[in-house]
């Protein structure tokens, strides 16, 4: 009965929305292919199931909001942490998150559909469905086994962020104080080559500068940054791409998918993030020393995080800061090499005013138009560039 009532409410809300006149930006968003390469819904679903096929308060991605915003292709982020890797549970968690996305699509076959290729996107568009693709954030689930790349490719994973936050067996991470490989590891070079062979896009977000350079040296196919900002606006913040590396990604034929999260678009927030990882590393050293000596640490990592967050609140940001990044990226990298990777549901609500959920893509359209971008450029940024790279990666693998 509750499911019937929820579906009825969705139909009523959709009908009411359909009666309202659309703004020019909303109409454009509905008619244009929008591809967002980074939405963190799966990790939240694995902790607590929510039916994202209906309106869900407190989330940034669900079906009603996606249709309102004109979202066509949502890359679901299959995220595992460095701690999951150390604990040996990263592979299990990755499969569970993929299961949750499949379950969501199965529950609502008229609203969601899984896609594995740009050909699927072309076949299923236009329509009322939100198409779900899979991107893996952190290569930890493959362990030391290249064969796992084939396994995850068969499950639908179409990009892999080689590392997340910290260095792993594949590559050095941008937040890591320890850089054991000086870029990619020997195993990481094999991973990139195998991803090229299978047709999985290589994602350089979260990597150290040297690791990004190694990827670009080795990859025979264009690469992506699935959710990165530009270091021009956040000096010293390695998590965002420098002009040099952004141009190198573009020269390689790839695309930089610009992120919306406040921590990536605001200089003070970015500086706080850098300081956090340095402070966390020191805390963990002290914590581990106390444990090795048989003592009881004064506080847990979770308590450290809570105290840090309370002392370093994220500054308020606005959509104009994202538009600044788009303007600069189009100027610096070229209109063919810029896209969007929001990080919705992945930054704890720390998002700019005007870009708080997937319903807000029309605000981005309106802002780009106000700043003089042509409709052709807007279409490229909203999705055409990413689809072009995906096709090229797939084509090279088939060849």
Model confidence pLDDT, tens digit, residues 9-47: 444 444 445 557 899 999 999 999 999 999 999 998 888
Q: Which pLDDT belongs to residue 12?
A: 43
Strand runs labelled E in 191-335 = 201-203, 224-228, 255-258
Highest CATH level, class, for 22-266+316-398:
alpha beta
- In this predicted structure, what is the pLDDT of residue 27? 97
pLDDT value of residue 46: 84
Q: Is the pLDDT of residue 6 over 80?
A: no
Among 219-233, 288-302, 358-372, the least confident range: 288-302
∠ CA 397-105-134, rounded to 5°: 30
Mean pLDDT score, 135-155: 98
338-340 and 255-258 beta bridge pairing: parallel
pLDDT tops 50 at residue 213: yes
Residue 212 confidence (pLDDT): 98
Give kind and range of the element (H or E) at residue 36: strand 35-39
User: Over the chain, what is the mean pLDDT?
Assistant: 93
Q: Percentage of residues in the chain with pLDDT exceeding 90?
A: 83
Write out the two tokens for 98: 């993929």
- Give me 195's structure tokens: 């991803």
Domain limits, the chain: 22-266+316-398, 271-313
With cut-offs at 50, 70 and 90, classify the pLDDT of residue 76.
very high
Give yes or no for a contact between 107 and 51, defined as CB atoms under 8 angstroms apart.
yes
pLDDT grade for 206, boundaries at 50, 70 and 90: very high
Please tell me the predicted confidence (pLDDT) of residue 10.
47
pLDDT exceeds cutoff 70 at 261: yes
Select from 252, 264, 376, 375 the least CA-distant residue to 324. 264
pLDDT confidence bin for 3, thresholds 50/70/90: very low
Cα–Cα distance, 366 to 361 (Å, whole number): 9
Question: In the predicted model, what is the mean pLDDT of residues 317-334?
Answer: 98
Q: Is the pLDDT of residue 319 over 60?
A: yes
Average of pLDDT values for 350-370? Answer: 98
Res 126 pLDDT > 80:
no
Given a cut of 70, is residue 4 above it in pLDDT? Answer: no
The predicted model scores a pTM of 0.93
The whole-number pLDDT of residue 19 equals 59
Pairing state between β 73-79 and 255-258: unpaired
Q: Which residues pair with 114 in a beta bridge?
A: 132
Q: What is the pLDDT of residue 1?
A: 46
How far, in Å, CA of 55 to CA of 59, rounded? 9
Dist CA 168 CA 82 (whole Å): 8
* Total Cβ atoms within 10 A of residue 80: 23
Q: Would you place residue 341 in the very low, low, confident or very high pLDDT band (cuts 50, 70, 90)?
A: very high
Residue 334 has pLDDT above 70, yes or no: yes
Predicted local confidence at residue 48, as pLDDT: 86
Residue 18 has a pLDDT of 52
Both tokens assigned to 278: 């340095």
């Amino acid at each position: 009965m509750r499911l019937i009532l929820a579906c009825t409410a969705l139909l009523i809300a959709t009908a009411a929305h359909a009666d309202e006149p659309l703004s020019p930006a909303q109409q454009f968003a509905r008619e244009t292919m929008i591809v967002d390469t980074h939405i963190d819904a799966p990790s939240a679903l694995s902790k607590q199931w929510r039916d994202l096929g209906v309106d869900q308060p407190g989330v940034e991605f669900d079906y009603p909001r996606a249709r309102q915003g004109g979202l066509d292709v949502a890359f679901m982020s299959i995220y595992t942490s460095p701690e999951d890797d150390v604990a040996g549970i990263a592979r299990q968690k990755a499969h569970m998150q993929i299961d949750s996305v499949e379950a969501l699509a199965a529950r609502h076959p008229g609203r969601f559909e899984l896609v594995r290729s740009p050909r699927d996107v072309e076949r299923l568009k236009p329509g009322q469905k939100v198409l779900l693709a899979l991107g893996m954030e952190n290569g930890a689930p493959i362990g030391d086994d290249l064969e796992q790349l084939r396994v995850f490719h068969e499950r639908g994973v179409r990009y892999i962020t080689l590392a997340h936050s910290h260095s792993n067996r594949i590559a050095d991470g941008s937040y890591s104080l320890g850089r054991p490989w000086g870029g990619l590891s020997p195993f990481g070079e094999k991973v990139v080559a195998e991803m090229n062979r299978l047709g999985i896009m290589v994602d350089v977000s979260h990597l150290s500068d040297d690791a990004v350079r190694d990827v670009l040296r080795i990859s025979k196919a264009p690469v992506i940054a699935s959710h990165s900002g530009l270091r021009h606006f956040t000096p010293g913040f390695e998590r965002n791409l420098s002009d040099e590396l952004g141009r190198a990604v573009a020269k390689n034929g790839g695309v930089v998918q610009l992120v919306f999260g406040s921590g990536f678009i605001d200089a003070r927030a970015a500086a706080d993030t850098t300081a956090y990882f340095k402070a966390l590393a020191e805390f963990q050293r002290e914590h581990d020393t106390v444990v090795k000596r048989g003592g009881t640490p004064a506080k847990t990592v979770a308590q450290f995080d809570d105290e840090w967050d309370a002392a370093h609140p994220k500054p308020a940001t606005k959509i104009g800061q994202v538009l600044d990044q788009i303007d600069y990226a189009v100027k610096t990298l070229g209109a063919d090499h810029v896209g969007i990777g929001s990080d919705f549901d992945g930054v704890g609500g720390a998002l700019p005013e005007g870009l708080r959920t997937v319903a807000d893509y029309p605000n981005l359209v309106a802002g780009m138009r106000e700043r003089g971008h042509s409709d052709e450029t807007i279409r490229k940024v909203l999705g055409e560039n990413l689809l072009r790279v995906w096709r090229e990666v797939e084509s090279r693998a088939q060849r």
